[in-house]
């Protein structure tokens, strides 16, 4: 299933294959990774690895362009720090202005949280590399809205599909467009022998209850 329109748009399976091949997406059911939120996960996504792989990076950006081609926005906003390079490449590709959102207000100078200029009422597309619980993404959305921006769309390379994230985005009236997701990644990993059947089953169990999952 395609995640957006555009001739260069990869589907979720193709994106997952790229992430696995680049070693950006890693599975370890026996020794789960621990997120900043405290959630233990059998999978870890490190999109920063893709920055150093020019070929795969270009494929991801082209796919992102395809996904957002049907969306109406004036400004591209990246989240600090992992979303900044993707917002930069995307904004250049679609010839739109870019800003980025700090995690906290600057402690010196003008104390800004948004770097760059957003015209009042400008429709702004938020760019993330990864969405887990969605809390950091939606905090950035609120910061943008506080500056007068209209934010109703977010694009990410990958999302875990956590129920709390799906609910939070819906409550915040933000539509999330992700190039790939955890469920599809598990399927592709199993087919390409990154995971065996037993570990794939355990990993999929995690998706329905991330905070209560145990291996």
What does the DSSP assignment read for 165-183? HHHHHHHTT-EEEEEEEHH
- Asked if 91 and 155 count as a contact pair (C-beta separation under 8 A), the reply is no
Residues 6+ apart with CB under 8 A from 34: 40, 41
> For residue 185, what are its two tokens?
């990644």
pLDDT at site 130: 97
pLDDT at site 6: 37
pLDDT at site 8: 52
Write out pLDDT tens, residues 6-58. Answer: 335 699 999 999 999 999 999 999 999 999 889 999 999 999 999 999 999 99
Rounded to the nearest integer, the mean pLDDT of the chain is 92
Whole-angstrom distance between the N-terminal and C-terminal Cα of the chain?
A: 30
Residues 6+ apart with CB under 8 A from 122: 74, 75, 148, 149, 150
pLDDT at site 214: 78
What architecture is domain 12-208? 3-Layer(aba) Sandwich (3.40)
Tell me the C-alpha distance between 122 and 120, whole Å. Answer: 6
Confidence of residue 106 (pLDDT cuts 50, 70, 90): low
Higher-confidence residue of 70 and 208: namely 70
- Asked if 50 and 24 count as a contact pair (C-beta separation under 8 A), the reply is yes
pLDDT at site 111: 60
Give the ranges where the chain is alpha helix by DSSP (H): 12-21, 54-68, 83-94, 135-146, 163-171, 182-191, 197-208
Q: Which residues of 143-171 are buried (b: 16+ CB within 10 A; e: fewer)?
A: bbeebebbbbbbbbbbbbbbeebeebbee
- Asked if 149 and 178 count as a contact pair (C-beta separation under 8 A), the reply is no
Confidence of residue 135 (pLDDT cuts 50, 70, 90): very high
For residues 175-201, give the mean pLDDT. 96
Model's pTM, two decimal places? 0.92
Lowest mean pLDDT among 22-36, 100-114, 182-196: 100-114
């Amino acid at each position: 299933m395609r995640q957006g329109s555009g001739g260069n748009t990869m589907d979720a399976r193709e994106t997952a294959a790229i992430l696995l091949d680049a070693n950006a997406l890693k599975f370890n059911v026996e020794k789960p990774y621990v997120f900043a939120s405290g959630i233990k996960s059998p999978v870890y996504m490190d999109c920063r690895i893709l920055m150093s792989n020019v070929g795969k990076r270009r494929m991801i950006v082209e796919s992102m362009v395809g996904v957002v081609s049907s969306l109406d926005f004036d400004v591209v906003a990246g989240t600090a720090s992992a979303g900044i390079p993707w917002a930069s490449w995307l904004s250049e590709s679609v010839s739109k202005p870019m800003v980025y959102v700090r995690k906290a207000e600057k402690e010196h100078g003008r104390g800004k949280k948004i770097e760059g200029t957003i015209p009042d009422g400008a429709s702004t597309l938020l760019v993330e590399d990864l969405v887990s619980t969605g809390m950091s993404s939606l905090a950035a959305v609120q910061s943008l809205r506080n500056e007068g921006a209209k934010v109703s769309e977010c694009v990410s390379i990958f999302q875990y599909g956590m129920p709390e994230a799906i609910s939070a985005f819906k409550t915040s009236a933000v539509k999330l467009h992700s190039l790939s997701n955890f469920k599809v990644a598990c399927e592709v990993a199993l087919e390409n022998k990154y995971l065996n059947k037993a570990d794939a089953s355990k990993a999929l169990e995690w998706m329905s209850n991330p905070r209560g999952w145990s291996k």
